[in-house]
């Protein structure tokens, strides 16, 4: 079995990115070490991944210093079930309250199929920014395609 045999198709990638999963966002800290945090996210039709964060959070400070990031969205409980998308790209910090609120609403709707943002999150919007990750390299895998051959 070759690597392309377990790669997710573009349709499978879109399906995975639309699921209400958490993403692992990796930034680079001031000492050059990875800083990894769990994040809710929204994949948009423009190909970018959107997240929100408090403007003063460590991940935002890291991105302002070095915009190179990685994001991994993975699911499955056992090796034979793992399937994932890993995106490497550059992150833009956007300070736009309307976009923050729009992104928060989109994430809430994806997570619970409702259009409202939880109350606490909505009141925090003025203190938040959007992290827009523009992919430069995308890698995916689906161990379910191995059919037990690993």
Q: Does residue 71 belong to any structural domain of this protein?
A: yes
Q: Does residue 54 belong to any structural domain of this protein?
A: yes
DSSP string, 8-26: PPHHHHHHHHHSS--EEEE
Q: What is the CATH number of the domain that holds 96?
A: 2.30.110.10
pLDDT, tens digit (0-9, with 9 covering 90-100), for 32-49: 999 999 999 999 999 999
Q: Does residue 150 belong to any structural domain of this protein?
A: no
Pick the range with the lowest mean pLDDT from 15-29, 33-47, 53-67, 120-134.
Answer: 120-134
Within 13 Å of residue 26, how many CA atoms lie on the same side as its CB? Answer: 11
* 17-37: average pLDDT: 96
pLDDT value for 126? 86
Q: Does residue 35 belong to any structural domain of this protein?
A: yes
The verdict on pTM exceeding 0.85 is yes
Q: Would residue 32 be called left, alpha or beta, if left means φ above 0 and alpha means ψ between -120 and 50 degrees?
A: left
Q: How many other C-beta atoms are found inside a 10 Å radius of the C-beta of residue 14?
A: 13
pLDDT, tens digit (0-9, with 9 covering 90-100), for 114-133: 555 555 566 788 899 999 99
Q: What are phi and psi of 130, to 5 degrees?
A: -100, 135
Tally the domains of the chain: 1
Under a CB-based contact definition with an 8 Å cutoff, are residues 52 and 118 in contact?
Answer: no
pLDDT, tens digit (0-9, with 9 covering 90-100), for 75-120: 999 999 999 999 999 999 999 999 999 999 999 999 885 555 555 5
Task: Look up the domain containing 42 and give its range.
Answer: 3-144
């Amino acid at each position: 079995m070759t690597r392309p045999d377990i790669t997710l198709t573009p349709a499978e990638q879109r399906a995975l990115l639309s699921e209400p999963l958490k993403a692992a966002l990796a930034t680079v800290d001031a000492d050059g070490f990875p800083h990894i945090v769990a994040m809710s996210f929204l994949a948009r039709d423009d190909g970018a991944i959107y997240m929100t964060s408090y403007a003063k959070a460590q991940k935002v400070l890291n991105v302002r210093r070095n915009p190179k990031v990685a994001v991994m969205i993975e699911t499955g409980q056992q090796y034979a079930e793992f399937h994932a998308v890993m995106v490497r790209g550059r992150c833009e910090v956007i300070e736009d309250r309307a976009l923050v609120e729009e992104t928060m609403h989109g994430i809430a709707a994806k997570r619970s199929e409702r259009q409202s943002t939880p109350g606490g999150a909505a009141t925090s919007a003025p203190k938040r920014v959007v992290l827009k990750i523009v992919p430069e390299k995308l890698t995916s895998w689906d161990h379910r395609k191995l059919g037990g051959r690993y």
